[in-house]
Amino acid sequence: MWRTLGMNATVYGPVARTHQVAPTEQRIPGAPRIWGTPHDDNAGLLGGIAGHAGVFSTPGDLAVYAQRLLAAHSDGDDHGLGEWLRSSLIPQAQIEPGLDRGLSWILAAGGRVAYHHGFTGTSLYLAPETGRYLVICTNAVYHGNARTKIAPLRALALKTISAT
């Protein structure tokens, strides 16, 4: 599916350990870092691939994905993406006032922004009405669990993409 969307660097893991693949955390002192496999115990038990973990990508490919989603949403269907995105932006459950859970997304700014955060720090923000997107790729678990340290960056990203 990824290649049909023009995302030539995106694959399901596990992937080979190369300079193009960032290592993540070192779970056991002295042991090698996790590298090329999902940073998720459940995915690990499933051989490295699960519906919720195991995709390896690049900022460029994530930008292509965001552009294709937004174009399909506004112009018409593209491999079913437009209908999927429209359906996934329907609030399913309230998280807290101002934040709802859609299918695959957290919905903010009155439903004008949809975003998804990955465990290691990757984030994708979409603003379908304005056609804007924002991609953040981090390795927030490289030096231990520092995901809380990227909270200000994620808050700034949401504020920026929510601005009209």
pLDDT 10s digit of each residue in the chain, 164 long? Answer: 788 889 999 888 788 888 888 887 777 888 888 888 887 778 878 877 777 788 888 999 999 999 999 998 887 666 677 888 889 999 999 999 999 999 989 999 999 999 999 888 889 999 999 999 999 998 887 776 667 888 899 999 999 999 97
- Alpha-carbon distances of 132 from 18, 39, 135, 143, 163, rounded to whole Å: 32, 29, 10, 32, 11
Residues 6 or more apart in contact with residue 118 via CB below 8 angstroms: none
- What is the per-residue pLDDT for 124? 96
Q: How many domains does the chain have?
A: 1
Q: What is the pTM of this model?
A: 0.87
Q: Is the peptide bond before 14 cis (omega within 30 degrees of 0)?
A: yes
Check which CATH number belongs to the domain holding 108 and give it: 3.40.710.10
Backbone φ and ψ of 64, nearest 5°:
-60, -45
In which domain, by residue range, is 82 found? 3-162
- What is the per-residue pLDDT for 60? 95
Residues 6 or more apart in contact with residue 90 via CB below 8 angstroms: 102, 103
